[in-house]
Structure 1
Amino acid sequence: MAHITILGLGPGDFSLLTLRAHTLLQETSELWLRTRHHPVVEALPSHIRLASFDDLYEQASDFATLYETIAYRVLDLGRRPEGVVYAVPGHPWVGELTVRLITQRAAEEHIPVHIEHGLSFIEPTLAALQVDALDNIQLCDATTFAARYAPPFEPDRPALIAQVYNRLVASEVKVLLLDVYPADHPVTLVDAAGTAHETVVTMPLYQLDHREDWALLSSLYVPPLSKPASMTALMDVVAHLRAPDGCPWDREQDHQTLRPYLLEEAYEVLEALDNDDAHALREELGDLLLQVALHAQIAAEYGEFTMADVLAGLIEKLIYRHPHVFGDRTVNSSQEVLQNWEALKQQEKAARGEASATADPFEGVPVALPALAKAQKIVKRLRALGYNVPSPDEAWRAWQSTPDAATLGTLLLALAAHARDQHIDAETALRETLAHWMQKARQS
């Protein structure tokens, strides 16, 4: 009857095959290999007729198409009365997309699938590194890793990157890692782990793609940074501060008591930006992030939401509002980006049932914004409604005629509107001018 047996060939040494695998190999007369490029293949029993899918590697346009094709071929073979034995390197459930596709589709057709386990590359690689797998290690594939825009793991936990098989892949991995790790961060390349040809080489990260010899069975170990440096670590510290054995002050805080600190930290970030001080900016961004983490922790304790909810909502929003990056929409300017952004915001509100003919035209303008910053946002809404604020000249004449609070407010609004037309942030301009005069007074 139809059936599929999937055999793991282990990391590359014939002696590392399981006893069950040896028994299966003695009993089978035909073996289909995902690829012949595996050290164990040469040592397989001579009575087995070997076939492989290596010819498909040259025909496929990409790996996704390749693995889909192999999966369909294996399913066709599995439908035969004698079924099929399909062999893959390592363990069938470690880095083998074809196995996932085969098992999913076989289940739909009610074709039995048996997995014959094999030692993966992970165990001998960890042994070569003398690293415990349960020490928070993170795993990823080099090709998937290199296709990302930021490393997909936490830098304060160890990571193992599989299939760093040539200089191009190594170079792409290195460039991405350098966004997070220092250039001299030590990394270790392990080749042919668990075989007689096993090699272990440690080097600074910047030298990763300098070597000439590469192998198909290479993995890169990236040790953690020396200090905690992830969102997970931050939330653990904040949760500890809020715990019964934590800090009395932190435990007393709630959303409302933290309000002034949020504003204070935001202004200190702005001050660092005004001073073009990267060192201060790093510190102040941390202080601002602490406020976000505290609010998220408090919300989690109250059953309102979690930091994961915050991050998931932000990521979803960014992807949804950038269809020209993550979708098929085309834009020709940043102005079109802004227009699309506003249109998508309105669609989101309509989907939530928040849009109506009587909606507040100033909804979304934060009440606590500084007056000049708020004025520039209000002006945009006023103009959209058909209102025009006075020009600076008109407002100045009114002030000279009647110098009171009302005409002064009109003058400030007119100046803020004029600054907006000139693409000047009025709040920043005044803040920088005040800093200039303060410095001048200090030096006199």
Structure 2
Amino acid sequence: MHQLTIIGLGAGDFEQLPIGVYRKLKQAKKICVRTKEHAVLDELANEGIQFESFDAMYEKHEDFLSVYEEIVETLLKYIESEDVIYAVPGHPLMAEMTVQLLIEAEKKGQVQLKIEGGQSFLDAVFGALRIDPIDGFELVNGTTFSIHQVNMYKHLLIAQVYDQFSASEVKLTLLEKYHPDYPIKIVTAAGSKDEMIRTVPLHELDHVAEINNLTTVYVPPVKDKKDALREWSTFREIIKTLRSPDGGCPWDRAQTHESLKRYMLEEVHEFLQAIDEQDDEHMIEELGDVLLQVFMQAQIAEDDGYWNLEDILAGVAGKMIRRHPHVFSDVQVESVEDVNANWEKIKKKEHQNDDHAEPLLKGEYRATSSLQTSYNYQRRAAKVGFEWPNIDGVWEKVAEEWQEFRQEIENGTQETRLDEFGDVLFTLVNLARVYKISAEDAMLHANAKFAKRFGYVEQQVIAGRKDFKDYSLEELDKFWQDAKQ
């Protein structure tokens, strides 16, 4: 088996070709290129460097995968008799399916690869657009991407937009989220002397003449929430804002799981009515209201420190995968009845497993902080419903434990006093949790505040009579009050 070396030709013209790559191409005996449509290859041909192009294979097949598979098959055949250099546009590991197929062949022992250099087209595109990828970007294949993969708040780069037809498909996909006049940029031949950038509204994407195999479509991040109303994170942020203590809505902030129960019921019934009426517009509206209730309930729980929307998604997604082994595993079913039977069997097994599940509080102990441990225990218990139905119950429990502690101070032993005082602290931690206060942080703050104020008192004592016992409690308290000022 001979060596197959894969070389990237870069994203620009001949002047940007690395000298090392140029030398390898000059010395090579057998060179294959995926396509001759590259500025560098024109210059190499003028210098007398010969290469075999696979462009003809594109005419033989109806889909790209078949083309790429034949290219790989041909290369594997060539290396049976000689070393081969395979040159591709850009960087070999960037948006190059033939290279990925060759890597799979390498894993099977069919080829020994050496992959070298070549500037990625991304480098050239970032430079042309003057954008910093650290802000977050997504690179997608224009022939296969789904709008569900797109985050409208990130830079979006769409490769493999090589003609009007592919541009039309990309446009239709983007219109599922973006409005028709949303400004996009069409970048062609980035990094070369023929570089061209044109800004057009989205609806004109497939009417631009400069689209070819060197084209990348850039969709800038959305800045205004009103332009991203089809983005899930936008709706989540709206709900969070409504419940925000700073500038939110008093009504939304006042809602609880219990207060929203009747609204959830009303919205579901209204959606069912829209189904009966076969009114699509009404169904969209009413299902949106149901979704509002779901997001509100999740936000309330997140605000209270119990659970969040991701917990809901993880729970239901895991359940769907477990209960559909005929879809996500190798279980065979013949009918709907088989599906139902499997569902009930799996459901029963899940409940049986619940009895042998790990203790809920396992992993919540913190040796470094009894306050944090107390918070963790009570938060975990609240997640499964072991919680007061309203805040009044928490306050009543604090008062009850305080009274029991005072009784033990008067009549109890040191051991019972210790026990009851622990209950007082435990209920205070729970009270802090309900009001979204970190008991640990509160205690750290109180300790720091005491140390600072007592330090001032100590300074006054030293500056005056030198000894604490020379001052009355009233005089020391005067220093304390001064420190508070």
Normalising by the residue count of structure 1, what TM-score does the alignment of the two structures yield?
Answer: 0.62
**Bigger-Rg structure (1/2):** 2
- The answer to whether the Cα contact below 8 Å between 2:142 and 2:158 also exists between their aligned partners in 1 is yes
The aligned counterpart of 1:59 is 60
Counterpart of 1:284 (choices 289, 292, 315) is: 289
- Residue 79 of structure 2 corresponds to residue 78 of structure 1: yes
CA distance in 2, matches of 1:83, 1:311: 53
The aligned counterpart of 2:123 is 123
Secondary structure at 2:91 match in 1: coil
- The answer to whether the Cα contact below 8 Å between 1:8 and 1:117 also exists between their aligned partners in 2 is yes
- The answer to whether the Cα contact below 8 Å between 2:124 and 2:190 also exists between their aligned partners in 1 is yes
Aligned AA (1:189): I
Cα deviation, 1:249-296, whole Å, max 9, x if unaligned, reads 9xx99xxx7365355245246558769768965863552241464489
Work out the percentage of aligned pairs sharing the same amino acid.
Answer: 30
Mark the CA change 1:305 to 1:180 in structure 2 (over 3 Å): closer, same or farther: closer
The 10-residue stretch of structure 1 (285-294 or 304-313) with the greater mean CA deviation from structure 2? 304-313
The aligned counterpart of 1:196 is 193
Give the CA deviation at 1:111.
3.7
Secondary structure at 2:133 match in 1: coil
Query: Counterparts in 2 of 1:310-325, with a 5 A limit?
Result: 310=315, 312-313=317-318
Give the CA deviation at 1:99.
0.4
Cα deviation, 1:318-342, whole Å, max 9, x if unaligned, reads 998999xxxxx9xxxxxxxxx9656
**Aligned Cα root-mean-square deviation (Å):** 4.4
Mark the CA change 1:294 to 1:86 in structure 2 (over 3 Å): closer, same or farther: same
The aligned counterpart of 1:345 is 340
Aligned AA (1:264): Y
CA distance in 2, matches of 1:103, 1:352: 42
Mark the CA change 1:85 to 1:231 in structure 2 (over 3 Å): closer, same or farther: same
Mark the CA change 1:44 to 1:281 in structure 2 (over 3 Å): closer, same or farther: same
Mark the CA change 1:111 to 1:301 in structure 2 (over 3 Å): closer, same or farther: farther
Aligned AA (1:215): N
- The answer to whether the Cα contact below 8 Å between 2:12 and 2:191 also exists between their aligned partners in 1 is yes
Secondary structure at 2:86 match in 1: strand
Normalising by the residue count of structure 2, what TM-score does the alignment of the two structures yield?
Answer: 0.58
The aligned counterpart of 2:139 is 139
- The answer to whether the Cα contact below 8 Å between 1:8 and 1:90 also exists between their aligned partners in 2 is yes
Secondary structure at 2:157 match in 1: strand
Query: Counterparts in 2 of 1:87-102, with a 5 A limit?
Result: 87-102=87-102
Unpaired segments of 5 or more residues in structure 2? Answer: 351-485
The 10-residue stretch of structure 1 (279-288 or 113-122) with the greater mean CA deviation from structure 2? 279-288
Aligned AA (1:287): L
Cα deviation, 1:372-406, whole Å, max 9, x if unaligned, reads xxxxxxxxxxxxxxxxxxxxxxxxxxxxxxxxxxx
Aligned AA (1:288): Q
The aligned counterpart of 1:160 is 157
- The answer to whether the Cα contact below 8 Å between 2:298 and 2:308 also exists between their aligned partners in 1 is no
Secondary structure at 2:118 match in 1: coil
Give the CA deviation at 1:231.
3.9
CA distance in 1, matches of 2:70, 2:297: 47
Aligned AA (1:73): T
- The answer to whether the Cα contact below 8 Å between 1:235 and 1:293 also exists between their aligned partners in 2 is no
- The answer to whether the Cα contact below 8 Å between 1:143 and 1:169 also exists between their aligned partners in 2 is yes
Secondary structure at 2:339 match in 1: helix
Cα deviation, 1:186-221, whole Å, max 9, x if unaligned, reads 111111111111111111111212223422111111
Query: Counterparts in 2 of 1:236-247, with a 5 A limit?
Result: none
The aligned counterpart of 2:208 is 211
Aligned AA (1:8): G
- The answer to whether the Cα contact below 8 Å between 1:238 and 1:297 also exists between their aligned partners in 2 is no
- The answer to whether the Cα contact below 8 Å between 2:34 and 2:53 also exists between their aligned partners in 1 is yes
Secondary structure at 2:199 match in 1: strand
